[in-house]
Amino acid sequence: MKIARIETTPIVVPLTETFRGSYYSMSHRATLITRIYTDEGVEGVVYNGDEVDTQQEIARIINEELFPLIEGMDPILVERCWEAMLPPTFDILRNRRLVVQAISAVDSALWDIVGKVARLPNYRLWGGYRDELPIVAIGGYQGKTDAELTAEVEWYLEAGIAGCKMKVGGRGLSPEEDARRFIVMRKAGGDDFVLMADANQAYTVHEALRFARLVEDHNLRWFEEPVHWYNDRRAMREVRVKSGVPVAAGQSENSRVGALDLIEDGAVDVCNFDSSWSGGPTEWRKVAAVAQAHGVEMGHHEEPQIAAHLLASIPHGTYVEAFHPDRDPLFWNLIANRSEIKNGMYPLPSGPGWGLELDEAYIKKYRID
């Protein structure tokens, strides 16, 4: 079997409102569909990322730079293909992050081919530790009233979602105000509702510690990216040691080496390395092995269509992360055969590879190429 052709399709969907985190805002949901065709008719298909401004450049890198490096190669030899795609990252004058995201998309599509050839869902191909995972939403965005936060939690409960990772930090809100918002969501969800806080690197160490202490009696599952980026390993270690709250990070790392530094420096209890941003499932699984050796749990930043398989394949996986349909219409509309969420659990797809059937009418409506 040989790689014959690659096709990329950018998708951009306007959102019904603008969602604001600590220092960013989102008014569109984007993704890139990657299809790899082989000379034997097996097709690998996947969608990755949320890059509105750069997805055209990522698509160009896939088609013009990566495909010539792997054309004619055996797609089953994923490690070999992955190494073959590395040379474009060696240019120190370019934005390597975009190249790594392009590699991530191709690597993900290759794994779909492997699963289809093996006639196994990818999570079973990789070992298959469980058949379902708890699912949480990313929400609690800043700017919402207490009534809106309460209604949001009620929607999650009605939809069978187990919890929420809420946004804190930045936007002029103090740790005290963020803690008050957290407690509003805790009261709405009850004691069994899983509740995390995600500061997106917005707090100082002292602010993060204040927030953690204010919610210490309200079952904070973990505190994600609590501090500013410029000395985050030392600062995150200080937050987790002084507060006793589990700290999660890793989505901002672009390689296994960056994730290894977080883990070995004692900065994280949960590593939420993002395979779609950082080299694909091939790279993610190496990080997961390092994390297990150090007693660190694994998460995955967003991307439920991929994260579910990766997290279900290992014993130290945590939660599938999704969004409310208003924030991520792709998960709820692009996947024609999405598994039904029940009692806080997301069943793994049973089809081979990623098990994805994409809605072609939805693609036609929102493709921008």
Distances (CA, A) of 26 to 13, 29, 166, 226, 332: 11, 8, 15, 20, 18
Domains and CATH numbers, the chain: 3-120+359-366 (3.30.390.10), 124-347 (3.20.20.120)
pLDDT at position 232:
87
In angstroms, the CA 35 to CA 138 distance is 28
In angstroms, the CA 190 to CA 26 distance is 29
If one counts every other C-beta atom within 10 angstroms of the C-beta of residue 137, the result is: 24
pLDDT at position 349:
97
Tens of each residue's pLDDT in the chain, 369 residues: 999 999 999 999 999 999 988 998 999 999 999 999 999 999 999 999 998 999 999 999 999 999 999 999 999 999 999 999 999 999 999 999 999 999 999 999 999 999 999 999 999 999 999 999 999 999 999 999 999 999 999 999 999 999 999 999 988 899 999 999 999 999 999 999 999 999 999 999 999 999 999 999 999 999 999 999 987 899 999 999 999 999 999 999 999 999 999 999 999 999 999 999 999 999 999 999 999 999 999 999 999 999 999 999 999 999 999 999 999 999 999 999 999 999 999 999 999 999 999 999 999 999 998
**Region for residue 88 given its phi and psi (left: phi exceeds 0; alpha: psi -120 to 50; beta: otherwise):** alpha
pLDDT at position 273:
98
pLDDT at position 116:
98
